[in-house]
A and B are shown apart, each in its own frame.
Chain A
């Protein structure tokens, strides 16, 4: 009997120790778009604090579902939840990092950044109303360029994605026709074209198909040397996608802590703002104060030390003013 007792004691001690270790792991799940930067931050954070961050990039919808069911410590979504929904599911929300979606094309003899488009032509191209690049509407925006004649092939994301949500939100906001005929969401019924799986799928199809047009996150446009387009923003200027224009959008975007930062960064009012920018968000379960504090500790560290890493990976760090707002939000909810 004594032996058995001893074994039980040893086992109990062992279990309690693994339990302590388990508390040092943070589990998150959600959007695929910020996965590279979260994992890079987690790697550095682990070296300093020993805390493990385990992030599964299963998609924004999956992230929302998992945190709603309380199976992870935090969820992540590119698609901000409305304050009412957060209230209903007892969730907190704050942005973590910013990126931009870029229209890309495959045009002979035209360099990246040369093509100019506005929301109206982009919308008509994706609706199938503008069928060739040399159509009058496109040519008018590009007086100096010799645009090819061939038929445009539209490429979209075949899998549901936050990228599609941001892109279709932009189109729906800028173009009533799009809103009525297609609408917005992580997966929509595109009227024409073919679907590529993931950003890499879309980039690959566009790269290979002459006269194709698609939309990808900026990093993919750059890596694949695709012809990304300049876009006319709300202020009426043509802007090139890049850090400066994404940052401008982030700074002019009116993130409001009272609305749990619910905001789409599309069609930002700034003079140099890229019109299809988007923040990706972190979701926390309101009642789990203890684990939330650990999650907040991680993001607090990342906001202080992670900006360069984010830039390296072609993400835009949050502007300083926004970081301060988020800190105040954490304090108000008793997480810091």
Chain B
């Protein structure tokens, strides 16, 4: 107590205000959790936890609801979009920090930030009117052709190329999340001390070797943090996906099939859900997404902390 009372009163007020700001976050999260749990209690008691998570039936007419198709769609689109986005984003970051001439750095940087500023509904409209015809007319028939006959891979490209499917949705998602990973990776690449890089060059390392052995290991944690941020965005993205995914409550093996994600189902069906169980089931879905995001972020944080400790040793 003595230590605090010695402090300047302004400092006291300052620490008090920041503490309130931080605690408000926790209160918000708890408030959201409370609303989700209480609103979904009807569906929880009706369907249970295991049954809701494993049932693929989503049928408002018979009031029978299961989340598995939605969970599947969410995971697959998120995974695919990260698969596409991460290499591109890191490529952009390496180019901007290590390779590009100075006069190009600013325009590319601004372009990346603009990409993050575009509202998701615009991505959705663009996906529906521009990207999806291109996908269905050119890209998907081509993918079908080159993968035909290859076991396992050809399964991924079965069916009629419609352009309204998991693949198109994942590509749009990946474009949306590239800026997050790219700009954070760029910032952490920039933090690599110039002395270290110069020493490597002095030892005769090539540019590729410097990037591979110095820059990337040095900024691994930052890049990983950027990926986690992208992951969160991809899990929760709604409007852009709603336009090109087709809201199809079935589990399919082909990437050329329509699917449904949790957020898309919520956006599409919330306004018209007219009976209590239906509404409650939608809240239950939201709760599932909340828990899913929490778990993935917790796992990511765990690895981040582990890596940090290993690094600081």
Residues of A within 8 A of B (CB): 58-62, 64-65, 79, 151, 153, 158-161, 182-189, 193-197, 201, 204-205, 208-209
Partner of B268, one of A58, A160, A209: A160
Q: Could you tell me if B274 and A186 are in contact, using CB atoms closer than 8 angstroms?
A: yes
**Known A188-B60, A189-B59, A208-B133; contact A159-B164, beta-carbon cutoff 8 A:** no
Q: Could you tell me if A208 and B271 are in contact, using CB atoms closer than 8 angstroms?
A: no
Q: Could you tell me if A197 and B269 are in contact, using CB atoms closer than 8 angstroms?
A: no
**Known A183-B61, A184-B61; contact A189-B243, beta-carbon cutoff 8 A:** no
Question: How large, as a class, is the contact surface on chain B?
Answer: 20 to 34
CA distance A45 to B25 in the complex (A): 47
**Known A189-B60, A189-B61, A208-B133; contact A197-B271, beta-carbon cutoff 8 A:** no
Q: Which 5 interchain pairs have the tightest Cβ spacing? A: A160-B272, A158-B247, A59-B271, A183-B61, A61-B272
Residue of B nearest to A77 (CB): B274
Residue of B nearest to A68 (CB): B274
10 residue pairs of the A-B complex, CB under 8 angstroms, read A151-B160, A158-B247, A158-B264, A185-B60, A185-B61, A194-B258, A204-B128, A204-B129, A205-B164, A209-B136
CA distance A151 to B267 in the complex (A): 31
Q: Does B162 contact A (CB under 8 A)?
A: yes
Which residue among A58, A79, A208 has the maximum number of chain B CB atoms within 10 Å of its CB? A208
Residues of A within 8 Å of B160, CB to CB, are: 151, 153
Residue of A nearest to B275 (CB): A61
Q: Could you tell me if A194 and B243 are in contact, using CB atoms closer than 8 angstroms?
A: no
CA distance A127 to B258 in the complex (A): 17
Whole-angstrom distance from the CB of A176 to the nearest CB of chain B? 15
Residues of A within 8 Å of B258, CB to CB, are: 194-195
Q: Could you tell me if B273 and A194 are in contact, using CB atoms closer than 8 angstroms?
A: no
Q: Could you tell me if A186 and B247 are in contact, using CB atoms closer than 8 angstroms?
A: no
Residue of A nearest to B259 (CB): A194
Residues of B within 8 Å of A159, CB to CB, are: 247, 267-269, 271-272
Residues of B within 8 Å of A204, CB to CB, are: 128-129
Residue of A nearest to B62 (CB): A183
Whole-angstrom distance from the CB of A239 to the nearest CB of chain B? 29
- Taken residue by residue from 236 to 260, chain B's Cβ proximity to chain A (1 for < 8 Å, 0 otherwise) reads as 0000001100111100000000100
Residues of B within 8 Å of A60, CB to CB, are: 272, 274
CA distance A58 to B271 in the complex (A): 6
**Known A158-B268, A208-B133, A209-B162; contact A64-B274, beta-carbon cutoff 8 A:** yes
Whole-angstrom distance from the CB of A246 to the nearest CB of chain B? 24
Q: Could you tell me if B271 and A194 are in contact, using CB atoms closer than 8 angstroms?
A: no
CA distance A209 to B133 in the complex (A): 9
**Known A61-B274, A161-B272, A189-B61; contact A195-B248, beta-carbon cutoff 8 A:** yes
Q: Does B58 contact A (CB under 8 A)?
A: yes
CA distance A60 to B269 in the complex (A): 11
Which residue among A153, A187, A196, A204 has the maximum number of chain B CB atoms within 10 Å of its CB? A187
Q: Could you tell me if A197 and B249 are in contact, using CB atoms closer than 8 angstroms?
A: no
CA distance A294 to B198 in the complex (A): 79
Residues of B within 8 Å of A184, CB to CB, are: 61
Residue of A nearest to B242 (CB): A197
CA distance A207 to B249 in the complex (A): 23
Residues of A within 8 Å of B133, CB to CB, are: 208
Residue of A nearest to B265 (CB): A158
Q: Could you tell me if A153 and B162 are in contact, using CB atoms closer than 8 angstroms?
A: yes
CA distance A42 to B181 in the complex (A): 48
